[in-house]
A and B are shown apart, each in its own frame.
Chain A
């Protein structure tokens, strides 16, 4: 993951850079003491992540964010806790680090970045499922979904069910959920029939995740999912019924 650090404090930049280096996952490709220099860089280069201080000369962190047309993930680094609520109004702001940043707290940031797809769901982040993904994107036991220019790998075994919701669908996994702007029909074509089954016009389930079936619904984790009358016979045929 390519990142830049924007902070007027030399020491703060050094610490974040060291934490990134130690993580083994985040490469720091640039460091800037103010937002203007960072913008010049971003006009020529793309990054996946920005560590951004709020209080800076010339442009503040939030002014800087307002100028970004297609913002990558942003982790705010600040000594001021007063902007936390405002920060979380932006779907691409993954975390809010209060200085001085500790090693332990940075581990949480890494976890949040890992699950950043979920964070984006809260806002208006553009999410898509590649309609014609490269062949290598799909393996025997997983698929990739494209969320804000990040391809996130989902193992079939981690998917509980998929629910259609208007012009998008949500993939529910053990860890959370991912919103994908595509149709249930398209993802159904990509999923192995041996694992997944459509039991309702709005639901595809991972067959192995069923806990029980009662009347016209199945229980998966804590979710009760309806079975449509037309799909019920197909479901019943798949059951290893005594």
Chain B
């Protein structure tokens, strides 16, 4: 079953604190596109170790957006990238696409 991102976790932590919720969302909105681009650039340069570091950052955002399976995938992918293994790239890129769509929706 495909997971869909949501803001349940952020809302739980915020506990009605809208200022925190907005601040937190703005962090994700700013950082995610930047990290996605960095990740793509490092992969294109075959700099897998640096790509793994970016996946490490992205994976936290997946957990925060309640993407439990995607988070687990990112944990594995980060480790495999450190050894230059890109087998999980397609699956991970699909997750990035899902998050990107979700972020666009929030923007609108």
Interface set of A (CB-CB < 8 Å, partner B): 8-12, 14-15, 18-19, 22, 55, 57, 79-80, 99-100, 102-103
Contact = CB atoms under 8 A, between A and B. Distances in A.
A133 to B, nearest CB: 39
B63 A79 contact: yes
Contacts of A10: 27, 31
A83 to B, nearest CB: 14
Interface in B1-59: 9, 12-15, 17, 20, 23-24, 27-28, 31, 53, 56-57, 59
B31 A11 contact: yes
29 contacts: A9-B60, A10-B31, A11-B24, A11-B27, A11-B31, A11-B61, A14-B23, A14-B24, A15-B13, A18-B13, A18-B14, A18-B17, A18-B24, A19-B13, A22-B15, A22-B17, A55-B56, A57-B53, A79-B59, A79-B60, A79-B63, A79-B75, A99-B60, A100-B9, A100-B60, A100-B64, A102-B9, A102-B12, A103-B15
B63 A100 contact: yes
B18 to A, nearest CB: 12
Contacts of B28: 11
Contacts of A22: 15, 17
Interface string B53-86: 1001101110110000001000100000000000
Contact of B57 (A8, A14, A15, A80): A8
Contacts of B27: 10-11, 14
Contacts of B61: 11
A122 to B, nearest CB: 29
Consensus secondary structure, chain B interface: helix
When A and B form their complex, which 5 residue pairs have the shortest distance between CB atoms, in order from nearest?
Answer: A100-B63, A9-B60, A18-B20, A100-B64, A18-B13
A100 B74 CA distance: 14
Contact of B63 (A19, A57, A80, A99): A99
Given A10-B27, A14-B24, A18-B17, 8 more contacts: A9-B57, A11-B61, A14-B20, A14-B27, A18-B14, A22-B15, A79-B60, A80-B75
Interface centre among A10, A11, A22, A57 (most CB of B within 10 A): A11
Contacts of B24: 11, 14-15, 18
Contacts of B60: 9, 11-12, 79, 99-100
